[in-house]
Structure 1
Amino acid sequence: MRSGRRTAVDVVSEALDGVAHWDPLLHFIDTLDADGALQRARSVDLGLPLAGVPVLIKARTPAGSPIVTRLIAAGAIPIGTSTRARPDAVSQTFGWNGSEYTRNPWDLSRSSGGSSAGAAAAVAAGVVPLATGGDSAGSLRIPASFCGVVGLKGTAGRVPRADGRSLAGLTIGGFIGTSLEDVALATSLVSGPDRLDPGALPHWPVPALAGSGAWRVAYRSSLGLIESDPAVDAVVRGSLAVPDIGVQEVDLDWLPVDSAWLTLRDLDAGLAVEPSALQAAVRVRSHNSTALADLFSSVDALVTPTTPRVAHGYDQHEQNIVVGDLCWGFNITGHPAVSVPVGLLDGLPVGAQVVAPHGREDIALAVAARITRSLPLPG
């Protein structure tokens, strides 16, 4: 576009054509604003960093949210909203457009994950290069893993929120995208305090992902009661057998987080919480945060599978399927974590999660850049 060979209208029109082709199969659109997107594309300032880039916004994101207003200010063109889980869903790892469940472009019998379900499906299908999401228990990382794309949950407070910092601080806004570079740039552009969230972290500059030097990582295939599928474990372990990555055996004194997360979720939702349950949740947060501080005194990053299994069936929405066991602990502690594709298992993507110290998304992204694998287009 900047060279003049293509226009923003051309690029946005291609994205809308992609919606017309893929959405009847994948059901990732919640609402579509084709006319508004084309109108904005006609007048976009090509000097802006995301000029003419078509994006999807996660359904029910307030229009005035900093993640939306700052994307638009950077030149991005929202073409609509993407599906998320049904409000009354038994499990959140599904998307719903009001009549159909969102499908995975790698296998139409599988879910694309959740709750940022439509975002991952649309990015994986090549409709848009970026889509927004929110992550309170893995809702950026899980769908990214299921669909073979990138999902970044920054440090708690990295992306300002429309209603400010929540009581428990579980939910972090962020992006699902085709590449680490894209999600890093978008996160940088929307970072920094806002009048709606003056307590957000300072602006985060885009880090350099390339560079020399070795990285010390710890690897864990499980952090709770759910063991990873041995085949998934093998794929993720294999991704670490690359230059500049040294895997160290390090103990992690980790407490189970399921009860603590449920208590903190209720607190964020304004529900009544027993003081004893809240005290127990705070103890888990403090204990695990200290355990991670001790871990990061001897390694640079922690790597796990993002999910213990590959994508489950889209028609299992009435089952209480837990796939966030490796993710939600880092919402409680607030650490940055990124999911990247590292291979295929029986034709379905496998994701690896890289976790780094508070404020060190640059480390998580640098390690992730060394282990990520380019996957073929699905379908």
Structure 2
Amino acid sequence: MKIPFNKPFQTGLELSYIEDAIQRGHLSGNGYYTQKCQQYFQEKYQFGRCFLTSSCTDALEMAAILLDIQEGDEVIVPSFTFVSTANAFALRGAKIVFVDSQEDYPNMDVDLLEELITPKTKAIVAVHYGGYPCEMERISALANQYGLMVIEDAAQAIDSYYLERPLGSWGHMACFSFHETKNIQCGEGGMLVVNDLKLVNRAEIIWEKGTNRSSFLKGEVGKYTWVDLGSSFLPSELNAAYLFAQLESLEKIQTRREAIWLSYFNFFQSQSTRDSILPIAYLENLLVFDFQVMSLNNQANSHLFYLLFENESSRKAYIQKLDESGIMAVFHYQSLHKSDFSKRYFPDQYQRKLPNADRFSGTLLRLPLFYELPELLGN
């Protein structure tokens, strides 16, 4: 039995909705299914204006344009994150200032943020790793104190909550991913949420390649033209139709993922020798396993399950044993402050010591977690 790291789930309605989109005769972006998906998020989570994009990377790049990032501006970003989180702002000329992770979880350490703020700081990008919420109340208060913008990188955080508020509703903007590895997916896709209503009109222009096409389609102008920066950020109606089928099954998908997550948690809590293909004998160097505080304050979405090993060599040994058992497991991000790009363009950041980000980079291991995962754990 070969078990992949991920297998995209299909609800069974994707093809029929795609066929319906074809029959409607509108295959480019911002049609019937795009509107239905955006309306779903706005109504279910009380988000501001939602804009479907071709990827979360596109959503982040839209956010960077909306912030009017200029050369010399500084943006605070966790070192332990995907490259798109930082790249979107570096593309606009920003200096990326990296913040370390918490000691006990990969999210940014909010205690370290204030010392990184300078007169050049323009924004804080809060990444909700694994769908587990950053301390958004504290981040928002700090941003208000210093007049900064907050962008939530909620790529992994659909249907997660903090203090009973959905992630994606806290920041001035938020970015989601619908990549095939996410809980809800359409192969490739994303979404920008604009909660600051002052930014909505310009976001619509940027989304439409820098034109006022939306105003033209609403009859507000007689013709449309180039009025601002922008790009081709819209996904096709085929992607949106696929995504809407997923959204209709959100509760079912989330319930199944939570059950799998809890199976992992219970298994490693007991480290049972019952019938399982997870090689228990090679866990002596395991330090901790993933945790989620399922409470009103922190409601995570069972996006991933990780193990944390004593060192990189013990992680490598366990990856090898899993591979021999037919299980694909992967490690995650490499510290961005230690990247070749940072060494060339942000040498002062490359020199900094961010021990927690480096520790997670070297010792964290993600296990398979997808809807159709077989019963590995003997449950």
Shorter-chain TM-score: which interval? Answer: under 0.3
Question: TM-score, normalized by length of structure 2?
Answer: 0.27
TM-score (ref. length: structure 1): 0.27
Greater relative CO (CA pairs within 8 A, separation 6+):
2
Query: Which structure dedicates a bigger proportion of its chain to helix?
Result: 2
